[in-house]
Every structure is written in structure tokens, then in C-alpha cells.
A and B are shown apart, each in its own frame.
Chain A
Amino acid sequence: MAVDSEIKKKAELAKHKKAAYGQDIDLDKFGIGRKDIGETKDLRELKEEDQKTLLNVGVVPSDEGRSGSFVLMDNSVVHEKQLGTGVEVMSLQKALKVHDWLQEYNWKAVKADADKYTARTFIEEADGYFIHALPGQKVKLPVQTCLMLKSQDVAQTVHNIIIIEEGAELEVITGCSTSKHVDEALHLGISEFYLKKNAKLTFTMIHNWAENIGVRPRTVVEMDEGAVYINNYIALKPVKTIQAYPTANMNGPNGVCVFNTVAIAHPGSEMDLGSKVMMNAPGCKAEIVSRTITTGGKMIARGLMVGAAKDVKGHLECKGLILSNKGIQIAIPELDARVPEVEMTHEAAVGKIAQDQIEYLMSRGLTEEEAVGIIVKGFLDVGIRGLPPALKEEIDATLEKVDLARM
């Protein structure tokens, strides 16, 4: 693979560059992720517990009802399958060999020297998925991908590229999770998405990490005229530290961009979750909605919307519930208008569940715990209303298991 030596030099220099947000992670503590885990043609041949891990993040081991499937364990591609037409699914490193033209998308949206995490991922020439929806193809079945941590004390580095060609439509479901026996590990995931004219991508990501896992995703979405990007992010399980601030650059007119975030910060978890939308062309519309809960951890919900062209419209909403005395909720919504003809609004609210709502339900014969559970579920539900029913059921099942007991 040809690597621009200029970028390489920059990446080397950025090896210790701290990120703008989130606690600093010492990368030297984490070894290189395994590259020797064997391939599996059929995910049903995986160990039962691994299959369960997949299912928990919306990834179907049979690949049924999917137009493509990709699984990465540590740094090993263990499964890549293209099942439908109109879409290419393969590992990125393979795709870079197959398509010469892909080089111009490689490390273009995300800068290799953005911080130490991007730098390490670049230097390791990380692999990941390449998903390519062909021009005009409205792919009916979603593509599923899973990034799984399999080994202790390693840093999984991932580099993904999704390209949705002109007029194409695709849905991608990505699940990230930790194998049962892994205690401490790190996930660094670079994602570069390119949406051409009138392309549409619905990207749903479910994070199921574990108590001692550090997570640093870096995502940039480049959008052309009339492109539609819908991002659903769901993180309901414990994690040690996660910091993400995916950015959509709306470069062409009349695009639509939606970020929905639903997350729970458990005791010991620190979650710094943001979404950034740059409305750089006229007529663009954007919506950022986040519904977060702390049951004892620290939750920072950021949102930034920039209106840099006329007739853009946006709404930003950060709502946070505090279900424990020890929990912290910080909401930081920002609006930045650079021309006068913009219409942007925001709404932020943090606090505990209103007592009158709890008692209203109690007056119907429910216990206090049941009442709290219903209200919390409803609160999160607003953030994931648009999800496909099957996925929603999955999330409901996860929520059922989350301990929402109040202090």
C-alpha cells in the first residue's frame, strides 16, 4: 500500500498528541492487537458465547436478512461476506489493493495526525471494513459489522471506510463489543464516510463494552448535495472511558443530517459523547438529539451545530437524567451561526425524574421501581424511535437487564 510519506511524518510527530476531549490514555500500556485469529466462513461456527456477543449488538450469526457481513476480532478480519447485489463489503486493506481509486478516500476525512489515537491507527496501517453502495442502488437489507475485543491488554486499531455513491441508499448496523474474558483493553476506531449526491446512509452503532475498556472512535462524514445521513448511537452497558465526537461536514446544498444518541453512564464509567454538524451549504437541515442517563458515572453530552450558509435549519437537544447521587450529567450544546439567514435552536435539560410522574404511575398501582423503569425507558425511547423494529426489540431487551434502581 502506498502511503504518503508526508502524512507518515506527521503521524509520527502526533504519536503523543493529546486529544481535545476525554481523559488521556497511555497507549504504551497496550500492545498491538492480534492479527492471527482465523477466518470463519459461517459465524454460527463460532463459540456459543461469541455468537451471543454478536447477537447482543444486533449482529445476526446466520447473516440472514443482511446484504453483507463483516467481523473483526482484535486486529484480525475473521469474517467478510457480500450477500446481496449493489453493495461491496470487504476488508479495507483488501479493498485498497482491489481499487486504486480508493486511495483518494484513505485518511482524507479523518486526519492521521488529529491526535495520538488516529496517529497510532495510521501507523499500524489498521484494517477494518470497506462498504461501498454502488450508484443508484437502493440496497434493501442492511449490512452488519462487528468489531470485537478478544484479548487482554491490547489496543484494537480499526480503520473503516463507507462510500455511498450517487443516489444509493444503505443501512449499516455496527456492533462493538468485548469478549467475555477480556478485562482491560482499548478500542481505537477510525471511520470515514463519504456520501455522494442524493445518497442516503443510516448508520446504527451499538456499543457493548465492559468495565475496564477504553474507547476512542474518530468519525468524519463528508456529505455532498442532497445527501441524507442518519446516525443512531446506543451505549447502554458499562465502559471505563469513551470519548467520541463524530462530525458531519455538509458540503453540498439541501442535505439532511440526524444524530441520535442514547447512552447510560454506569458507576465508574466516563462517557464524553458529542455530535458535530457543519452546515456549510445552503438549505441544509440537521438535528442532534441526545438522551443520556447516569446511574453513577460521569456523562458529558456535547453538541455543536455550525450554520455557515444561508437558509440552513437545525435543532439540538441534550436531555439527561440523573438516577444516582453519585452521577454527574453535563450538557454542552453549542450553536454557531456564521451568516444571518440561519435558524438554529437548542434545548438542554438535566435533572432527576420528576416526582409527579413517578407518583402518577404509582397511583395506577405500580411500585416505585416499576414507575421509574417505565419513565426511563420512555425517556430513552424518544432517542431511538426511528430504529428498525428488530433492533428496537434488542435494545428493549438490553434495557430490561440494566439496573435502573435509584439511590
Chain B
Amino acid sequence: MLEIQDLSVEVGGREVLHDINISVMSGYTNVLFGPNGSGKSTLLMTIMGFSGYKVTKGRIIFNGEDITNKSVSERAQTGIGLMMQRPPNLVGVQLGNLVKIMSKGRVKAEDLAEDLNLTGFLTRDVNVGFSGGEIKRSELLQLAAQNPCFVMLDEPESGVDIVSIEKVGKKVHELIRGTSCAGKSGAVGKGALVITHTGQILDYVNADRGYVMCKGTVACTGNPRELLHEIRTKGYDECISCNIGKKTLVKVKEEGAN
């Protein structure tokens, strides 16, 4: 469904991503791990097509089509959706209105808001004065209204309180697992690429494959639960070293893919 080939990306005049190769098949959910600043958000922003993320090398293929030079709108319309880590404030734009406009009135914002404990937020300006967890839930609400075929989530659980995490998890699950979606889905339905820091979201989604990013490259790939276990016990140092021993990388991949 999504294929990233030898992708290098420059941000603010500096190369932040180097030679990234990642693929997500339709029907699959892949997760991205990696320490702060390793380039996870940069990768998702680049896939969405935000300006300021300059592709200097490589290609992004979505459902067989090269989208590397397509506009953000075109990518969204073809079925890619993103929950941003740090979305901008939209002063004067009420969340409920936005949902109405983007879904062309097809989606009941009230119902979605209730699902996500955001009832009072529909008349508030998008992201203005929202707490970290509120931003996540508002992003999820918008994404649910958009219902993209390829779902990208940037740390969906971070900042979400323990009361809301259940609701967020459930919504994420629905979003990734549903069958119908807007845009082009793959042969076996939707696909997803999820950044997680804590791994908490893995309790709610069936992750198929994990990648660990370090210093702008993919250091390891493998079974997401095993990778998470390793990160929890050994920290990220191990992953950086696994990049050096390419052999181990392949091994992990084989075991993980089962």
C-alpha cells in the first residue's frame, strides 16, 4: 500500500532522514519506535507532503502511484490521513465546524465528540488552549471524520490520561480496522503507520511489524512486541548497534515476520 524507497529528507537546510526504506501492506499496521529526535515525526510529515520537508532523494509510492511531488490535498484525497504530533492553532475555526466542512456534513460531530469525551470542544477553536491529551483526542476525532484508508498516527497515546486512554484506544482500533474508508484502500483494506513512544497503544491495535528509527535511519525492524521488550529492557543503545551489524537486523526481521 505504502512504499518508501531510499528516502532522504531535508528540514531547515539539514538532512534529517537518510535512505529510509519502509513499506506497509494493506491490511497491516506497522509501528515506529525510536528515541526523541530520531526523525519519526519528520517521516510522517514527509509522507503527508508538508512543505518544509524536502525530499532530496528517493520516492514515496502509494498504491502503486508515485506521490513524492503531490500536494497535501491530493495525498489526503487519495486516502492518506495523519494525526499530527504538534498541529497548529486555528484561531476562529471551531472544531465542530471543521468536522462539518471536511466531512461535507456526512459525519455527526456530536456522536464522535461523545465517543472521545470532547462534547464541549465542538464550539472551541481548533487546538487553541487544548492540553496535550485534548489535542490527541481532537486529532482523532478529525481523523475519524475523515476516515482515511491509510492512517498515520504520531504518538496517539502520549499525554492522554488514564481515563481517556481506553476511549482513544478503542477509536484508534476502529479507525484502523474498519473496512470502508475514504480514498484508495489496498486489496485487503486499510493500512496504518503508528508512532509510539511508550508502546501503550499496542494494547489496542494488532501491530504487524515494528521499525526502530535512530538518527534519521531505520536501525532495526522486527516483531513490534519483541522490539518493544528489547527497548524497555536495554534502551535504544542496542538498536543503534544493530544497525552496524546488518546481519542481526535481517535475523530479527525473519523472526519477527513469522
Best-buried of B71, B73, B76, B88 by chain A (most CB within 10 Å): B73
Stretch of A136-144, A176-184, A353-361 on the interface side: A353-361
Known: A363-B82, A365-B102. A382 touches B91 (CB 8 A): yes
Stretch of A329-337, A366-374, A387-395 on the interface side: A366-374
Q: Say if the beta carbon of B175 comes within 8 Å of chain A.
A: no
- Tell whether, in the assembled complex, residue B92 and residue A381 are in contact, meaning their CB atoms are under 8 Å apart: yes
Q: Say if the beta carbon of B42 comes within 8 Å of chain A.
A: no
- Tell whether, in the assembled complex, residue B101 and residue A360 are in contact, meaning their CB atoms are under 8 Å apart: no
Known: A359-B50, A360-B87, A381-B92. A368 touches B101 (CB 8 A): no
From B73, B82, B93, contact of A375 by CB (8 A): B93
Q: Say if the beta carbon of A38 comes within 8 Å of chain B.
A: no
Q: Which residues of B contact A371 (CB under 8 A)?
A: 73
Q: Say if the beta carbon of B8 comes within 8 Å of chain A.
A: no
- Tell whether, in the assembled complex, residue A368 and residue B73 are in contact, meaning their CB atoms are under 8 Å apart: yes
- Tell whether, in the assembled complex, residue B101 and residue A374 are in contact, meaning their CB atoms are under 8 Å apart: yes
Interface residues of B in 128-146 (CB under 8 A from A): 142, 146
- Tell whether, in the assembled complex, residue A379 and residue B91 are in contact, meaning their CB atoms are under 8 Å apart: yes
Per the bound structure, the CA–CA distance linking A361 and B102 in Å amounts to 9
Decide if the interface of chain A is mainly helix, strand, loop or mixed.
Answer: helix
Best-buried of A356, A363, A375 by chain B (most CB within 10 Å): A363
B251 to chain A, nearest CB (A): 37
Per the bound structure, the CA–CA distance linking A368 and B70 in Å amounts to 13
| Residue in chain B with minimal CB distance to A383 | B92
Per the bound structure, the CA–CA distance linking A359 and B80 in Å amounts to 13
Q: Which residues of B contact A360 (CB under 8 A)?
A: 84, 87-88, 90
Q: Which residues of A contact B222 (CB under 8 A)?
A: none
From B49, B76, B93, contact of A365 by CB (8 A): B76
Q: How many residues of B contact A (CB 8 A)?
A: 28
B135 to chain A, nearest CB (A): 12
A285 to chain B, nearest CB (A): 23
Per the bound structure, the CA–CA distance linking A364 and B87 in Å amounts to 12
- Tell whether, in the assembled complex, residue A379 and residue B92 are in contact, meaning their CB atoms are under 8 Å apart: yes
Per the bound structure, the CA–CA distance linking A392 and B142 in Å amounts to 26
| Residue in chain B with minimal CB distance to A371 | B73
Interface residues of B in 63-90 (CB under 8 A from A): 71-73, 75-77, 81-82, 84, 87-90
- Tell whether, in the assembled complex, residue B102 and residue A366 are in contact, meaning their CB atoms are under 8 Å apart: yes
Q: Mark A148-176, 1 if CB is under 8 A from B, else 0.
A: 00000000000000000000000000000
Q: Say if the beta carbon of A380 comes within 8 Å of chain B.
A: yes
Q: Say if the beta carbon of B249 comes within 8 Å of chain A.
A: no
Q: Say if the beta carbon of B51 comes within 8 Å of chain A.
A: yes
Q: Which residues of B contact A357 (CB under 8 A)?
A: 88-90
Q: Say if the beta carbon of A377 comes within 8 Å of chain B.
A: yes
Per the bound structure, the CA–CA distance linking A380 and B84 in Å amounts to 26
Q: Which residues of A contact B81 (CB under 8 A)?
A: 363-364
Per the bound structure, the CA–CA distance linking A381 and B94 in Å amounts to 10
Q: Which residues of B contact A340 (CB under 8 A)?
A: none
- 30 A–B contacts from the bound complex (CB under 8 Å): A355-B51, A356-B50, A356-B88, A357-B89, A359-B51, A360-B84, A360-B87, A360-B90, A361-B90, A361-B98, A362-B72, A362-B73, A363-B72, A363-B76, A363-B84, A364-B81, A364-B146, A365-B76, A366-B101, A366-B102, A368-B71, A371-B73, A374-B101, A377-B92, A378-B90, A378-B91, A378-B93, A379-B91, A380-B92, A381-B92
Given A363-B50, A378-B125, list of 18 further CB < 8 A pairs? Answer: A356-B50, A356-B88, A359-B72, A360-B87, A362-B72, A362-B73, A363-B82, A364-B81, A364-B142, A364-B146, A365-B77, A365-B102, A366-B73, A366-B101, A366-B102, A374-B90, A374-B101, A375-B92
List the 9 shortest-distance A-B pairs measured between CB atoms, nearest first.
Answer: A378-B92, A362-B72, A378-B93, A381-B92, A365-B76, A362-B73, A364-B102, A382-B92, A356-B88
